[in-house]
Amino acid sequence: VVQDISSQQVLAPLRAHLTKNQFSAWDCCAASGGKTILLHDAYPKASLTVSDIRESIILNLRNRLKRAGITNYRSFVADVSSPQFSLSQQFDVIICDAPCSGSGTWGRTPEQLVYFKRDKIAHYANLQYSIAANASRFLKKRGFFLYITCSVLVDENERMTERLSQTTALQLLSQQYFKGYDKRGDTLFAALFTV
């Protein structure tokens, strides 16, 4: 599995706090499954659930997990940002690798800055909040919620963690950037919460 250098490190805040090996985990914006694969590598006994908004994304995810040798997991298609979103299960760990501006990748794709429209920042911040706030309702007491972006913008990161801390049951444990621009990699942001 080939991953960006910062992506390889982004689970560090969770690993610093999570001591048990068997737990339930939900990657609520799983995309191609990179964070799920990392989690499985670190905690092979974890019970995995993955979701994303489109069936085509889940099909690609299933193929990637199969190539990584991961066969025991549950997957579903859902719009976690929807006010009607609901689940019948709670999880010990939730990973929310939220859709974002991608500004943390612009060091290796600077042309994206030319095409990026400033009003997209508010769009992404609202989407991120809806996803994270909805998903956090399914976190077990004393569980861990890891919020991740590949953004360097404060509205998607520090302001988002402040908003989530003020309006949900989430309590911020740590937040940090994983800087990759000096290593030909991406810069990612991760915030770890508990309830």
Residues identified as active-site: 150
Residues 6+ apart with CB under 8 A from 182: none
Question: What is the number of helices (H) and of strands (E) in the chain?
Answer: 7, 7
Compute CA distances 55 → 30, 52, 81, 169, 182, whole Å. Answer: 12, 8, 16, 30, 36
Half-sphere exposure for 90 (CA within 13 Å, toward CB): 11
Place of tokens 């706030």: 133
β-bridge mates for residue 93, sequence order: 25, 144
3-state secondary structure at position 75: strand
Using the 8-state DSSP alphabet, how is residue 88 labeled? S
What CA–CA distance (Å, rounded) separates 69 from 135? Answer: 27
C-alpha distance from residue 89 to each of 35, 69, 135 (Å): 21, 25, 11
